């Protein structure tokens, strides 16, 4: 914030220094320049940014991430609405569980995917995603130094995961390390 204040003060000083001689001869040109020079300086500052602050382009990138996040939330809400109309739809549960795993909400995903597994215990996709949810949950438990809960989650993931799950070997290694 101090960078902006310093830039504004310097801009005002430069503007006055340049405007005073012009104001003596042509008053209307001076008024136009008093508005145009600070706007030009501000636009250059926003375009180029500064070492401490990002440029305006970087701010638009953050807005794009917010737009993507809102889109994901809207999609999740639509899936939840559809699931409320058809609570036995395993495919919707699978999609919703996948979104929640990707959104770092593995505990929510486990609940939904468990229900989907109860409805269709032979569905390999549900088993794969449920195993992944347990795996991610176990990783979060490890970060929080809750080894017993993490080990329980990893074992649940190993038990539910299909034989061809790509993370199965890593699970076995982690479980052996935690024992």
**Quick one: 17 and 96 in the same domain?**
no
**Which of the four pLDDT bands, split at 50, 70 and 90, describes residue 89?**
very high
pTM: 0.57
User: What is the 8-class DSSP label of residue 53?
Assistant: S
d(CA 121, CA 39): 65
**Quick one: 81 and 104 in the same domain?**
yes
Please tell me the predicted confidence (pLDDT) of residue 47: 64
Among the three residues 28, 53, 78, which one is the final residue of a domain in this structure? 53
**Quick one: 65 and 19 in the same domain?**
no
d(CA 3, CA 108): 44
**Quick one: 67 and 116 in the same domain?**
yes
**Which of the four pLDDT bands, split at 50, 70 and 90, describes residue 85?**
very high
d(CA 104, CA 14): 51
Lowest mean per-residue pLDDT among 24-33, 49-58, 99-108, 112-121: 49-58
d(CA 43, CA 88): 56
**Quick one: 38 and 108 in the same domain?**
no
CATH of the domain at 146: 1.25.40.10
**Quick one: 163 and 118 in the same domain?**
yes
User: What is the 8-class DSSP label of residue 154?
Assistant: H
Give me the mean pLDDT over the 144-173 stretch: 82
User: What is the 8-class DSSP label of residue 161?
Assistant: S
**Quick one: 80 and 121 in the same domain?**
yes
Total domain count, the chain: 2
d(CA 97, CA 110): 7
Expressed as residue numbers, the domain containing 102 is: 59-178
Pair 22, 33: CB distance under 8 Å: yes
**Quick one: 49 and 82 in the same domain?**
no
Q: What share of the chain is helix, strand, coil (3-state, %, to 5)?
A: 85, 0, 15
CA count, 13 A, side-chain hemisphere, 161: 22
d(CA 179, CA 170): 14
- Selected residue with higher pLDDT from 36 and 164: 164
Give me the mean pLDDT over the 26-43 stretch: 71
Identify which of 132, 130, 122 has the alpha carbon closest to the alpha carbon of residue 166: 132
**Quick one: 66 and 152 in the same domain?**
yes
**Quick one: 26 and 63 in the same domain?**
no
First and final C-alpha spacing in the chain: 52
**Quick one: 36 and 63 in the same domain?**
no
């Amino acid at each position: 914030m101090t960078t902006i204040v310093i830039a504004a003060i310097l801009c005002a000083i430069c503007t006055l220094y340049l405007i005073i001689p012009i104001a003596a001869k042509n008053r209307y040109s001076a008024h136009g320049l008093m508005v145009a020079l600070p706007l030009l300086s501000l636009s250059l500052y926003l375009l180029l940014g500064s070492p401490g602050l990002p440029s305006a382009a970087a701010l638009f990138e953050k807005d794009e991430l917010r737009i993507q996040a809102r889109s994901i939330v809207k999609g999740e809400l639509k899936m939840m609405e559809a699931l409320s109309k058809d609570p036995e739809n395993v495919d919707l549960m699978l999609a919703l569980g996948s979104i929640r795993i990707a959104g770092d909400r593995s505990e929510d995903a486990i609940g939904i995917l468990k229900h989907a597994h109860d409805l269709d215990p032979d569905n390999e996709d549900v088993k794969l995603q449920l195993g992944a949810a347990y795996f991610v949950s176990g990783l979060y438990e490890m970060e929080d130094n809750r080894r017993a809960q993490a080990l329980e989650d990893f074992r649940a993931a190993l038990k539910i995961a299909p034989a061809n799950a790509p993370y199965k070997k890593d699970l076995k290694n982690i479980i052996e390390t935690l024992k």
